Amino acid sequence: MSAAVVSFRAAVFNRRMLACVFTGLASGMPLYVLFQLVPAWLSDGGVSLAEIGLFSLIGLPYTIKFLWAPFLDRFVPPFLGRRRGWMLITQVFLLFSIGAMGMFNPEQSTKLIAALALVVAFFSASQDVVLDAYRREILSDDELGLGSSLHVQAYRISSLVPGSLSLILADILPWSSVFWITAGFMLVGIIMSLVVSEPESEKPEALGMRQALSAPFFEYLGRRGWSGVILVLCFMFLYKLGDSMATALTMPFYLEMGFTKTEIGLVAKNAALWPSIIGGLVGGLIMLRVGINRALWMFGGVQMASILGFALLASSEPDLWLLALVIAFEYLGVGMGTAAFTAFIARETSKTYAATQFALFTALAAVPRTLVNGSTGIIVENIGWVDFFLLCTCLAVPGMLLLIWVAPWAGQKSAVLVER
């Protein structure tokens, strides 16, 4: 067996990559409880659609988690260490808060359930902050691509518990039992927190809270300079903008093209989840070979091509095979692009302030997509589906052009960045 093969196996099959799988499972579980299981439970309990719709607001902690991330960077629990201690605390709270949720009647205790769901969202977002920092600290820059990919794909696979298994159990068991069984899957994260080793990283200086909030920003500014910061932030805003806009109205698009709800449900579920997972895993292995920079170029090209697939679908007669092919190719590109983009964000962080910087970067990356996606319906009404998807393809170009400066093809590290 050649030394290259041995080296490749050692890079893929090790405890660090296994830990990334478990961080993904623990991170995805509570989110899918909130956005898949809880709405189904509320609907089954007779809660109105208007009230169920308002439950989407409980996702706010995921957007503003950077506000308390400095606290998790700065303070160390009296057990297990800075990362493992907070991991265990958030996971224990998640187990009991998810389990307790099913003990209430949805129709009679809607407000109480909403408050409890907000508690779950807070501890879930806090767990994400710590798990992202932990993953950044245990992986070398060369391993970030595959490690981030494994985390993201395990995150998606975790949806099969609240979004599938729990719903099946709900047909034969009371909801209270279903929620405690679902909560029991958080033991995966708890066991991981107890078994893994605390990563070695430099703890931030003992500063006041004002300095603790500003120190991560000034540390990044000191490494990158203003020009580097502006280029990287613009890239984070734009890299997935076209793809995000193209997929914002997929369900109305499929219906308007003449596909039935049953056809969409059967095709979309199978043609979306698994290609996305396969794309992410394959993307992670490719990044291990070619590096994050080249992967961003390659996968960005795949994302642009997949958007054109929607334009082809919009200009064709309804065809289930074409629908499946377009969805599969789109989510293959999504899996690859997300893996590379997540790895890039992780590489941009300092291990000292990993929790705060990672939370801030992911929040910033979500802001423009959230704002611009709100205008997609108006754009479609004015220019039609085909031109809309062509526009989305064009909007992907600026993010690709910024790769020349933030992730040049010839270099693993950004040309605008200095060595840590």
Q: Residue 90 pLDDT more than 90?
A: yes
Q: Are residues 138 and 181 in the same domain?
A: yes
Q: Is residue 263 part of a domain?
A: yes
Q: Worst-scoring range by mean pLDDT, 11-25, 118-132, 292-306?
A: 11-25
Same domain assignment for residues 191 and 216 = no
Same domain, 386 and 269: yes
CATH number, domain containing residue 303: 1.20.1250.20
Residues 175 and 248 grouped into a single domain: no
- Token couple for 310: 């929607």
Q: What is the pLDDT of residues 271-290, one digit of tens each?
A: 777 777 777 778 778 887 88
Read off the pLDDT of each residue in 202-209 and give the average, rounded to a whole number: 59
Helix (H) or strand (E) holding 203: none
Residue 412 lies in a domain: no
Q: Quick check: 331 and 410 in contact, CB under 8 A?
A: no
Question: Is the residue at 221 inside a domain?
Answer: yes
Any domain includes 256? yes
* H-type alpha helices, 239-353: 241-246, 250-256, 261-290, 292-314, 320-348
Residues 80 and 178 in one domain: yes
> At 396, is the secondary structure helix, strand, or coil?
coil
Q: Is residue 332 located within the same domain as residue 183?
A: no
Smallest CA-to-CA distance from 299 within 151, 400, 148, 419 is with 400
Q: Which residue has the higher pLDDT, 148 or 374?
A: 148
288, 353: one domain: yes
189 & 290 share domain: no
Q: Please tell me whether residues 165 and 215 are part of one structural domain.
A: no
User: What is the tally of structural domains in the chain?
Assistant: 2
Would 419 be classed as within a structural domain? no
Residue 319 CB coordination number (10 Å): 14
Q: Is 203 inside a domain boundary? A: no
Interior angle at CA 244, CA 242 and CA 247, nearest 5: 110
Which of 155, 191, 150 lies closest to 16, judged by CA? 150
**Residues 6 or more apart from 362 whose CB is under 8 A from it?**
132, 345
Is 416 part of a structural domain of the chain?
no
pLDDT higher than 60, residue 320: yes
Report the chain's terminal Cα–Cα distance, integer Å: 36
- Give the pLDDT confidence of 342-378 residue by residue, as tens digits: 888 888 887 777 778 878 887 777 766 666 766 787 8
Q: What confidence tens digit (pLDDT) does each residue in 150-198 have?
A: 888 888 788 888 877 888 888 889 988 999 999 999 999 999 999 988 8
Residues 150, 83 share a domain: yes
Candidate ranges 45-49, 254-258, 307-311; pick with highest mean pLDDT: 307-311
Residues 85 and 165 in one domain: yes
Burial class (CB in 10 A: 0-12, 13-18, 19+), 308: middle
| Torsional class of 80: left (φ above 0), alpha (ψ -120 to 50), beta (otherwise) | left
**Among positive and negative, which fits the CA dihedral 32, 37, 40, 43?**
negative
Please tell me the pTM assigned to this model. Answer: 0.74
Task: Please give the share of the chain, as a percent, with pLDDT higher than 70.
Answer: 87
What is the per-residue pLDDT for 417? 40
| Distance (Å, whole) CA 35 – CA 42 | 11
Regarding whether 295 and 181 lie in a shared domain, the answer is: no
pLDDT at residue 326, as a whole number: 87
The CA distance from 247 to 318, in Å, is 18
CA angle 226, 134, 332 (to 5 degrees): 80
Largest CA distance in the chain: 66
HEC string of 23-36 equals HHHHHHHHHHHHHH
Is the pLDDT assigned to residue 315 strictly greater than 70?
yes
**Domain for residue 277, yes or no?**
yes
- Assess whether pLDDT exceeds 60 at residue 141: yes
Going by C-alpha positions, the residue among 117, 94, 95, 116 that lies closest to residue 36 is: 117
Lookup: tokens for 257: 């093209």
Supply the range of the domain harboring residue 301: 209-406
